[in-house]
A and B are shown apart, each in its own frame.
Chain A
């Protein structure tokens, strides 16, 4: 795949606050990339630097090999779908969609056709004359998409576009977005703090925190093999436990030794161990590796979620299972080797920073 966008060593400060620190990123053509991170992590800033609304203090931005760092927003061949859509309230639907086309001096015929096409694409044909405040949130969302894509950008930047919608609509729109992406065949750069959205839609997810990339990879990689405690914690629920790597393929957690599949951490080295709650097996007393007591139990639909206290330092495991145990029940826990994820301890108090070129 051809290289489309390249951010090189971007640093950005707001006042005394460093939002991005020597940040680099490469995006290829026709990718659906999601920048995922908690609010304030710098993901929106990256998008705004790409869109031309902010300028980096240090570093360059390349688009198709050309340096566009100093190009103003209105000269860039990429369009943004804004967080709250930013539809122009004093214009009707058609005027909104046609806005960019008019500025580019397209003919009326072209504009009409294009608006027509775009409305069909987002399943809102016939809405031309509607005024913006008569639209529902989902409809506004679609119009915002339509307004961006009629300009045929090479890249569409989406800044938490589904954030203002309710859960059901959000799920619907996720499929819609994937469909649009396929039909248009352009690059999507998607910013969200919602891990579910990221995992559902993306080809690649980049987890960002404190202005650094924490991990990047396919949704599966990110979920199954978090590279540090932050990613593990941010993506889904996790049990993150201090462990001791006794030797290759054997780790000591919570006073018991567990076989695992990781190698190369050295002997008797402290590590972080991540185990997903659904990967913890709950068995009757005596049938597992460590013993524990059920502290709380909540039924959350398909399964039960429990806190189980166990081991030498009373670690509280978050556990999901289909069977019902009562509070106070004495149980045993086990984990199969491939579900144990071993990570290096961070070297400093800061979260470990990993710069990766995609």
Chain B
């Protein structure tokens, strides 16, 4: 009896989480524009989506920004995680405190603060400002995932490599980086997701014509939701599903859990 209750409970929560997604997927294949009646199967919203330049440009922007920003953030964050480890506890706490600010602060405040800063320095908003803003809020996630891996044993391994004659660079690349790899990968993935998912900060820092998927949806919803957005949702969901399964599969093979 208790078992059934458990299953029912989980079932309800899962339904709650997936209902909107299922609805979007179903409606994306709907022939009519109606949002309540399924009148027949059709791929026309997919056609419309792929031929819509604004959507495609937004998709391209989203991914170029996410990839560049997450890679940049991962590089800076990884070096930082190692560098912070070499500091005194007081310095560490201070720096980590600052590192936590974008994590804990409201997105809207971060976005506004960056907007004001860009304009104060006379930087006109464009693709670059979005990129810089994204790197800013991605770095903390990288540090968060890499730092726990920078521990005493990695330090010792690094010293062991030096002891055996390796240069600092060689030891860093050959010994330290492989040790940190799961953390680095997790950080990269996390910041990529955060970047793709971000709306608020992009909303405030985007320049003329720079739409990401999020900002495009925001303006489209005001005009009126078109089913081509459902098609977009479906494709994004499918991509996410495949990517997550892939990552999970790969990490299981290596016994490193990257996500969660």
Contact = CB atoms under 8 A, between A and B. Distances in A.
User: Is B truly associated with A?
Assistant: yes
Interface string B152-196: 010011011111111110110001001100000000000000000
Nearest to B166: A103
A141 to B, nearest CB: 14
B162 A86 contact: no
A84 interface: yes
A15 B88 CA distance: 9
A39 interface: no
Contacts of A53: 159, 162
B182 to A, nearest CB: 11
A74 B166 contact: yes
Contact of A82 (B160, B166, B170, B178): B160
Interface string A61-92: 00000000000111100011011101111100
A86 B165 contact: no
Contact of A74 (B156, B157, B162): B162
Interface residues on chain B, size class: 10 to 19
Interface in A80-116: 80, 82-84, 86-90, 99-100, 103-104
Contacts of A88: 157, 160-161, 175, 178
Contact of A52 (B161, B162, B170): B162
Interface residues on chain A, size class: 20 to 34
B179 to A, nearest CB: 7
A45 interface: no
B179 A99 contact: no
B166 A86 contact: no
Given A84-B153, A86-B153, A89-B179, A151 B165 contact: yes
Given A74-B167, A84-B153, A99 B161 contact: yes
B162 A73 contact: yes
B159 A86 contact: yes
B157 to A, nearest CB: 5
26 contacts: A51-B159, A51-B163, A52-B163, A53-B159, A53-B162, A72-B162, A72-B168, A74-B162, A79-B163, A80-B163, A82-B159, A82-B160, A83-B156, A84-B156, A86-B156, A88-B157, A88-B161, A90-B179, A99-B161, A100-B164, A100-B165, A103-B166, A103-B170, A147-B164, A148-B163, A151-B165
Minimum-distance CB pairs A-B, first 6: A100-B164, A86-B160, A73-B162, A86-B156, A90-B178, A103-B165
